[in-house]
């Protein structure tokens, strides 16, 4: 039985990066968010340049745009060793 996920109606991702310093974790103030609603992804970010989005935002966009297919069906280029 093959499991397929229904298309998401709405989904939200919020990201705020941190980075390690000598003493503890620091927050650099950057915040980005993306919302999937009715098939459209709306991104909220200071810089309106796709290449400058955080990797987790771009990965999430890829997942919701593909309807999470790769989470349920093995891609053809994936093999087990």
Cβ 28 vs Cβ 47: under 8 Å: no
The whole-number pLDDT of residue 56 equals 85
Locate the domains of the chain by residue range: 10-19+28-72
For 38-76, letters b (16+ CB in 10 Å) and e give eeeeeeebeeeeeeebbeebeebbebbeeebeeeeeeee
| Interval 20-33: pLDDT, tens | 555 666 667 788 88
The CA-CA-CA angle for residues 79, 76, 3, to 5°, reads 100
Instruction: Tell me the pTM.
Output: 0.60
Q: Is the pLDDT of residue 42 over 60?
A: yes
């Amino acid at each position: 039985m093959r499991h397929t996920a229904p298309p998401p109606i709405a989904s939200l991702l919020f990201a705020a990066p941190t980075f390690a310093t000598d003493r503890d974790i620091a927050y650099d103030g950057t915040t980005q968010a993306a919302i999937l609603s009715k098939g459209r992804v709306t991104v909220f970010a200071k810089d309106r340049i796709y290449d400058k989005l955080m990797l987790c935002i771009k990965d999430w966009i890829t997942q919701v745009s593909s309807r999470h297919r790769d989470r349920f069906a093995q891609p053809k280029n994936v093999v087990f060793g």
